[in-house]
Every structure is written in C-alpha cells, then in structure tokens.
C-alpha cells in the first residue's frame, strides 16, 4: 500500500525542479515578490522580523508580512515629528557654545502635525491595500505552479475575489474559535465565579487542558487545510471556500489513515526543509561576509590613509554593511526562500493530487507529462515566451491535452467529459485560465511596452 504523504515527496522534487529550473530571471523575480506575500519562507520570516523590529523601535506591537512592514513604516514616520518637537533645536557638542540656542527658530509644530497625519493616511491606505491583496497571492502561487506560468498583475486580478473570500473565511474562523471561549471567560469573571478551587481538582484541570488542546487542534486543522488543500481546490474548480471544503472534506474523512500519514510526513518534511534552508542561509552568509569584509577592508584602508584610523574604521564598517546586507537579501535570502516555499507548496499540491486525481495540479511535471503539454501549447513556458496559448487550448492536470477523458476521481466524482475548452486540471478550470480564454494572446505579452493593453 502506498502512502500519499510519502509518494508526494518525489512529485514535489520534480515539480520544484521543473518550475524553477533552468533558472529564468523573470520567473525568479516574480517568485521573489510572491514569497513576500504568500509567507512560509525564510524570506518572509526575514521581512517579518524586520517589520517587528521596526515596530518595537517605534513602541508598537509587531505584525506579519507586508502589512507589518507598512505598520512599522507608519510608526517610525509618525515618531519623527514627535521626536523633532520633543528634542527641540539642538546643535552638535562642538557648536553648542558658539551659537545660542535661543536664537534658533522653533520647528513649525502645525506643519509637522499635518505631515504626520498625511503620512498616517497614506500608510493606512497602503496597509489596507496590502491587507486585502495578500490572500490572493496564495492562489497566485498555486496557480503559477500548476500551470507552469506566473504573472503577478494578471494573476492577482484573476484571484482577487478568491483572496477576499479566503480573507473573510479566515476572519470568520478566528471569530468562531475566539468568541465562544472569550464569552465564557468573560461570563465567569463578571458573575464572580470562584476559580481558585480548580487548583485542588487535578482531574478537572487535566480535562480542561485536554479540551483546550483539542480545541486548538481543530482550529489548526481547519486553518492549515484551508491553505494546503482548499485553496488548490478553489483554483481547480473556481468555487468558493465552502465549496472547496465540500470537495476536500470527503477526501480527508474517507482516507483517514492517509490524512494522518500526510500530517506526520508534512511535519517531517517541514523539519527537513527548515534544516536545508538554515544550512543554505548559513553558507550564503559566510560567503557574503567574506565579500563584505573584503570591501570594508579596502574602503577602510583607503579612507584611513587620508583621514585617520577612526574615519577609516567607520567608513569600512559602513561600506561592509551597505554591500553585505543587500547582497545577502538578494543573493541568499530570496533564492533560499523561493526554493523552500516552492517545494513546500509543491509537496502539498502533490499530496492533494494523490488524494483525488481530479485535483491533481502537478501532472505536467510527473513522468515527463509536461512534454505533451508543451507540444499542445506550442512549446516553452508561458511567462518566458512572447505568446500565450491560443484561446480554448489548455493542458490537463496530468499532462494530457484538454478534452481527453481522465476518468473518475478517488472520491467517486467523474471528470467532465464534455467540451474540451472546459477541461482543465482534471475536469476543473482555473479561474485565471478562464480569463485567458477570453483574452487575445497577443495582449498578454510579457514585454514592458507601456502601449500594450493587457486584459484579464
């Protein structure tokens, strides 16, 4: 008996290799943007830590991802006018006695306040936009891997509504799991219930702890499978979150042993990916450190020869930081984040395809199936060629040309054997594919020509 969670590892390796290699600069640049929003990668963690550091410096609580970065920027910018007003006019120590402080004009407090409010408004709007658009990148990533084609603006527009649905479901899920226990706790506090007696009842405490643990497990189950399985199901059949759960839940319930093995394997795969990512980051950090050290020493030697030792040391350190930090982010953190995120999401898609053939989105990468797809589409990768496939021509999820009968799903559903134009991803059509079918392929050229009017 084969286990879906185990077999999916090889499929994920094939999909990662086929999607990212050979290296194409445009594909990797787009994936760098996706990793900032889709999360779950070392790059996203670096951005999150930077955002939290900024908010801590400004005296506010940290947040996550792009929204956290926007909040950090807002907090720091808001702090500048306040610091300027609080500090008042000042001069360096060497000039403090030369110029009377009373003779300097006071800063325009009203102007600083207006600028501060304007900055607040702009940052809030940007943060709101990022908050609304971020969930769509979960669909962009899945759709991009499944179709071996990635275009940021087009795919975000195509999946923006699905992103709002996912955001609403997440908000509803948090509310459903947080409000009831919060209401019970508030009622207990307001009614004056004496909880000190629980300390003398260990069995009650154990039962309460188990109930809380089960509650958290159910929440984690719903939260993670919404992203890992339901989002791909929404990409495949174009339905909403509830429709996706109706599609996925019978698979998980009907193959309970496979679900447990998948969860265990996903945990082990996550550990392995984290270890590999850490090793790659550490190795890259050492290489970048050598480069930055050489640059710093060179600049310090040149500056020290003309301006003294202290100036040379200061400029050397500054030059090393200026060179090392961007080099580490661009040449190490982003590539490692792209690799780990692509493999992790490919593993989840591969496992879902094992649960149900109709939701197999990685068929084009399996057993050389992508060769038939490339022939049907005219060859090449969609985001690196000049033209998209003609409208109405699409590739099936298992690497077969659209319109070919795939047979039944593992959960008993039959694939749509009707019109070939609607047969994609095992009988289900990606929403972005449907948009492409109504679009002139010449309008989706990857060129940067501003006169090109791209429709989605």
What is the pLDDT averaged over residues 121-135? 94
Nearest to 33 by CA among 330, 280, 327, 270: 330
Longest Cα–Cα distance of the chain, Å, equals: 89
Nearest to 154 by CA among 144, 145, 165: 144
What is the pLDDT at residue 113? 77
What is the pLDDT at residue 103? 55
> Chain centroid to CA 233: how far?
18
Q: What tokens does 315 get?
A: 């400029």
pLDDT at residue 71 tops 80: no
DSSP string, 181-247: HHHHHHHHHHTT---GGGGG-HHHHHHHHHHHHHHHHHHHHHHHHIIIIIHHHHHHH---HHHHHHH
More confident residue, 442 or 269: 269
Residues in the chain: 456
What is the pLDDT at residue 45? 43
More confident residue, 441 or 215: 215
- B/e letters for 120-149, b = 16+ CB within 10 Å, e = fewer, are eeebeebbeebeebbbbbbbbbbbbbbbbb
Average pLDDT, the chain: 75
Query: What are the residue ranges spanned by the domains of the chain?
Result: 265-358
Q: Which CA distances in Å does 317 have to 309, 322, 330?
A: 12, 9, 20
What is the pLDDT at residue 19? 97
pTM: 0.70
- Cα-Cα-Cα-Cα dihedral sign, residues 361, 433, 417, 378: negative
pLDDT at residue 193 tops 80: no
- What is the C-alpha separation between 267 and 225, in angstroms, rounded? 14
Q: Which CA distances in Å does 197 have to 6, 34, 187, 450?
A: 48, 52, 17, 72
pLDDT classification of 102: cutoffs 50, 70, 90: low
pLDDT classification of 104: cutoffs 50, 70, 90: low
- What is the C-alpha separation between 372 and 398, in angstroms, rounded? 10
pLDDT classification of 369: cutoffs 50, 70, 90: low
- What is the C-alpha separation between 224 and 221, in angstroms, rounded? 6
- Cα-Cα-Cα-Cα dihedral sign, residues 180, 183, 189, 193: negative
Q: Where are the beta strands (DSSP E) in 13-113?
A: none
pLDDT at residue 403 tops 80: no
């Amino acid at each position: 008996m084969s286990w879906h969670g185990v077999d999916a590892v090889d499929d994920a390796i094939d999909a990662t290799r086929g999607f990212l290699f050979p290296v194409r600069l445009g594909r990797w640049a787009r994936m760098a943007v996706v990793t900032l929003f889709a999360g779950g990668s070392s790059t996203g963690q670096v951005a999150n830590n930077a955002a939290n550091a900024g908010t801590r410096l400004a005296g506010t609580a940290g947040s996550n991802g792009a929204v956290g970065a926007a909040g950090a920027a807002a907090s720091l910018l808001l702090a500048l006018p306040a610091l300027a007003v609080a500090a008042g006019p000042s001069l360096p120590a060497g000039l403090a006695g030369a110029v009377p402080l009373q003779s300097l004009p006071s800063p325009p407090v009203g102007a600083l306040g207006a600028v501060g409010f304007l900055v607040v408004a702009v940052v809030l709007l940007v943060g709101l936009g990022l908050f609304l658009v971020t969930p769509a990148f979960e669909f962009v990533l899945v759709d991009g891997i499944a179709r071996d084609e990635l275009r940021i603006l087009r795919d975000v527009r195509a999946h923006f509504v699905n992103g709002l649905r996912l955001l609403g479901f997440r908000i509803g899920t948090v509310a459903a799991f947080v409000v009831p226990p919060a209401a019970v706790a508030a009622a207990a506090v307001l009614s004056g219930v004496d909880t000190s007696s629980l300390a003398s009842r260990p069995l009650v405490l154990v039962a309460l702890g188990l109930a809380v643990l089960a509650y958290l497990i159910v929440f984690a189950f719903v939260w993670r499978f919404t992203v890992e399985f339901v989002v791909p199901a929404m990409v495949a059949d174009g339905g909403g979150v509830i429709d996706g759960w109706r599609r996925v839940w019978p698979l998980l319930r009907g193959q309970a042993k496979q679900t447990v093995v998948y969860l265990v394997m996903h945990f082990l795969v996550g550990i392995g990916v984290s270890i590999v990512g850490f090793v790659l980051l550490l190795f890259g950090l050492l290489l970048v450190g050598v480069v930055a050290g050489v640059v710093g020493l060179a600049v310090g030697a040149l500056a020290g020869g003309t301006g003294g030792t202290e100036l040379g040391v200061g400029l050397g350190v500054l030059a090393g930081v200026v060179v090392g930090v961007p080099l580490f982010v661009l040449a190490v953190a982003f590539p490692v984040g792209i690799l780990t995120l692509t493999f992790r999401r490919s593993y989840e898609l591969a496992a879902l395809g094992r649960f149900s053939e109709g939701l197999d989105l990685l068929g084009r990468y399996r057993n050389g199936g992508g060769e038939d797809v490339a022939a049907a589409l005219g060859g090449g990768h969609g985001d690196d060629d000049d033209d998209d496939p003609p409208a109405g021509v699409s590739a099936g999820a298992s690497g077969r040309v659209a319109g070919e009968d795939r047979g039944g799903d593992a959960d008993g559903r039959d694939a749509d054997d009707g019109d070939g134009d609607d047969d994609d991803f095992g009988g289900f059509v990606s929403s972005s594919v449907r948009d492409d079918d109504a679009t002139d392929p010449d309008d989706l050229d990857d060129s940067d020509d501003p006169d090109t009017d791209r429709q989605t």
